[in-house]
Structure 1
Amino acid sequence: MWMETKVDVEASRSPASLSRRVLNSLLVCTGDMKYLDQYIQDKLFVLQLVVWGLRGVARVILANNPLSGAVILAALYWASPWQGLLGTVGILASTLTAVVVGQDSADVAGGLHGFNGMLVSLLMGVFSSAGDWYWWLLLPACLGSVTCVFLFSGLSTLLDRWDLPAAVFPFNIIIILYLLCTGPNNPYFPHHPTTPPGATESNVTELIAVQVMRGIPLGVGQIFACGDLGPSLIILGAVCLYSPLLAVHALLGSAVSTLAGLSMAVRHDSLYSGLSGFNGALGCMAVGGLFFTFSWRTHLFAIASAFLSAYADIALSNLMGTVGLPACSWAATLTTTLMLLLTGSLATYRIPIGQVMAPEQNLRSRSQWEAGNTDERESTDV
């Protein structure tokens, strides 16, 4: 018996077993981390609020992992402490409002009532011409975040009839209304007017290929209105922690969208800053494994969605830029909604909104379902 115990101890200390334990520990931190929700059920409300808020942070980029949310929030604070504070205020205001008004507990715990509020706060800070640490901006940031909860609830009731997500419709509506109410010359909340991406440049220079390539990962960061390369790479890493497949589609969508921008000769700074890429990244991620089970068909479909999102963004930006307004993420939101209404053979890969998980888990669930159907047919034939 002593010899068997010694062998077991030596086996547990072997490099293979150590690497297996490390791998298992890493896998625990990936995907949706549903076990964490069960763990915090009887814990302090503050701890629950933190987890719900971090899930909301990750939901901005279509992930559902509180650890990914924590990494993303840290990246935002690194890029700009003021923007990080605004994002935190937005996520807390909207999440607490959802709790107070009695929204569905599963939606609150999943961060679904937080991400629109965070986006509204972040974009208010980005467009504000009053500079950083303009404390009065916290007032419209809180009010806009709170309003997102009611819009999300109402739109969800309407869109549930077609099994469609409310997505970021509340954010897009609120930020446009805010910018229309204030205007560039408002004495309290002034903001920068938006220049259309198709506007002619006064000093046209040669396109710098390195800067264009740099703009591809920046397109992922611009989903959070972050234009710094380091934080953008960290955000991409946080998505990879949740789902490597989703991270690949994020980069692919940004690259495709950048290519679309090149084909339309948009302004160079849009290409360099990643603003040309983020709508394509969102469109590609939504179709390439999140709302559709991953396959070679849906992969091609995701690339088509990225192109459509990119061209729609250019068109909407040129249209809305004439009155100094940004197109935000209207292009990706509308494109994804249309894709989810698709009929035909690709519709068989569609995942019901209530069953959406990490792309790898979606793929595993479909494989198990197909295997079960095969076994059932074989038993019926016998």
Structure 2
Amino acid sequence: MQAESPSVYERLQTLLPAPKPIEPTGWLNRARALEGPWARGLRSVSQVIFINHPLSGALLLLAFWLSSPWMAGWALVGMTAANGVSHWMRLSPELRNQGIHGFNGVLVGCATAALANTPMPSAANAAQLTLLVAIGGGLTTWMIELWRLRFHRRGDPPVLTLPFCLITWVLLAVVPPSLTTPLEAIQPAAATTPLETLLLGIPHSFGQVFLCSSLTSGCLVAIAVVIASPIAAGLGVIGAIIGMTSSLIQGADASAVAQGLWGYNSVLTAIALGGIFHTPSSRSILLAMLGASLATLLQVLQIRMIGILPPLTLSFVITTWCLQRLAKRRLPALIPICLHAVVSPEEHRQRYGVTRVLLERFRRHLQERLAGIPTISAPPVLEEPLNHQTQELFAELDRDQDGRLSIAELRHALMSNLIQRQAENNDPLLDDQLNTVLAAMDLNRDGQINRMEFGHFIQHLQRLRDGEDRLRLYLIPMDANGDDHLEPNELDRLLRSLGQTNLTSAETNLVYANHPEGLSWRQWIDQLLLA
């Protein structure tokens, strides 16, 4: 079978210098990139609240220790058991290293510490609880894998903290009453006014995500989130305020609100909907605010209907599922993040920014082409070393040194470059591709390419290569039918997500003239490059 011809973009990358490996700068970013067993464990701790940073995980362990040394110890036991079962079941090492298989086990350990009715259990009781944590932590991984096997299609709901909820409720049923205390016992609060209640409740709400009741622990949890993602921290604060306000309106006890018992589900929901499963935007923030309020309402209903069980994070799980489904059906311009591509709200914003810049250029040039307007731009400002490399490359291609590249000169240079790399490849499409490239470079349509036009094209080629991975990750959810092609309705959805209007019929005909079945990834990249 004959190999598929390289795309225009793949051919032209030979004009660019080899990309340099990206190394993290700053000690925070270097800490984020740590690897190894300890980093895996710390990420398991931090993934509970949707952050992926070993330093944040270390701060969270400190918060557990200050709340109760048993909490720190049992959190580690639950995490180790969960990751151990993941290794034993030969599940994805990448997911394990990112903490995805371990965070429910961490929560089981935290809940067990909150469950114990004494800060110093006897040796026998401690051994019994430790064994239960290990079993429960391991079972969470098994439940995660069962969920993945059942819900593996694009757009299916994530498991979130459902395994933690189910395992903890089972533990409450099997642990003797003499070893337990109510998980959410309300203590007198220092707040006397609604404002003081809210101010105390914000850090407590962050702490209660891990069942930490002390103010110091709650502050450390909030700091851990800020270190990993300021956007996530901001969303969490918004969620906590909305959740606590909603609960006060519904008549919740002010002491419970100040302790964060009515804010932690809203913290998780706001972070999840506002910046983790969607790119942070005005739409996602509104969805997060709605989710924070709905999570509180569901928590009220849960307590009334099954008050014998602590609410834990069930209302967060159900709210996130429901609003993700609602957004998919009613808010097509709100693009979800694929589960395997979830990183941080900041990275999601960068993907959005890269895609917006590339699509704005694509749309502008598409409209100019239809209007018959030459695309004459001001000379681009090229940063070093790209500027120096571009000038050297231009001088090399300009064989007669007249300051312009003729069609023949550029054709000769590109053909020679390609023949050296593909001497055995007699590709009949090569001439057509080169003609298309030359036409795209020739902005003023004078049949020659000057330094400005060449620099303009090289800059765009560089930007496209640098942003290709982020662009791909942003576009994956657009492929609603999973056929690996970008169809007209999917491209319209992409444009709407970036604040643009749908393609006109003339634009659609131009883009899809030779591809009525839709654009493959390689064809789409060529469209962006040559528009």
TM-score scaled to structure 2, two decimals? 0.60
Could you say which residue in structure 2 is the equivalent of 1:9?
Answer: none
Identity of aligned residues (%): 25
Q: CA deviation at 1:207?
A: 5.0
Equivalent residues in 2 for 1:75-224 (5 A)?
A: 75-129=63-117, 131-133=119-121, 134-135=125-126, 136-161=128-153, 162-182=155-175, 184=177, 190-193=179-182, 208-209=193-194, 210-224=196-210
Correspondence for 1:288 among 241, 251, 274: 274
Q: CA deviation at 1:370?
A: 2.2
Any stretches of 5+ residues in structure 1 without a counterpart? 1-22, 41-47
Contact conserved, 1:73 with 1:84, CA < 8 A, in 2? yes
Q: Which moved more, 1:89-98 or 1:207-216?
A: 207-216
Larger Rg: 2
Q: Superposition RMSD on alpha carbons, in Å?
A: 2.5
Correspondence for 1:303 among 274, 289, 297: 289
Q: CA deviation at 1:268?
A: 3.1
Q: CA deviation at 1:245?
A: 0.6
Q: CA deviation at 1:29?
A: 5.0
Q: CA deviation at 1:59?
A: 0.4
Q: CA deviation at 1:153?
A: 0.7
Contact conserved, 2:243 with 2:266, CA < 8 A, in 1? yes
Q: In structure 2, what is the Cα distance between the partners aligned to 1:195 and 1:348? A: 36
Give the count of matched residue pairs: 337
* C-alpha distance after superposition, 1:292-351 (max 9, x if no partner): 111112111111110001111121123222x3x101100001101112212233553211
CA change 1:55–1:347 in 2 (3 A) is farther
Q: Which moved more, 1:235-244 or 1:129-138?
A: 129-138
Q: In structure 2, what is the Cα distance between the partners aligned to 1:264 and 1:245? A: 29
Equivalent residues in 2 for 1:1-382 (5 A)?
A: 24-26=25-27, 28-29=29-30, 33=32, 35-36=33-34, 40=35, 48-129=36-117, 131-133=119-121, 134-135=125-126, 136-161=128-153, 162-182=155-175, 184=177, 190-193=179-182, 208-209=193-194, 210-321=196-307, 323=308, 325-342=309-326, 343-345=329-331, 348-381=334-367, 382=369
Contact conserved, 1:196 with 1:317, CA < 8 A, in 2? no
Contact conserved, 2:201 with 2:259, CA < 8 A, in 1? yes
Q: In structure 2, what is the Cα distance between the partners aligned to 1:86 and 1:196? A: 20
* C-alpha distance after superposition, 1:50-84 (max 9, x if no partner): 11111110001111111111111122112221111
CA change 1:126–1:27 in 2 (3 A) is closer
Q: CA deviation at 1:193?
A: 4.3
SS in 1 for 2:204: helix
Q: In structure 1, what is the Cα distance between the partners aligned to 2:120 and 2:81? A: 20
More helix by share: 1
Q: In structure 2, what is the Cα distance between the partners aligned to 1:206 and 1:223? A: 21
Contact conserved, 1:298 with 1:346, CA < 8 A, in 2? no
CA change 1:122–1:371 in 2 (3 A) is same
Q: CA deviation at 1:228?
A: 1.1
Any stretches of 5+ residues in structure 2 without a counterpart? 1-23, 370-531
Higher RCO, 1 vs 2 (CA within 8 Å, ≥6 residues apart): 1
Contact conserved, 2:184 with 2:261, CA < 8 A, in 1? no
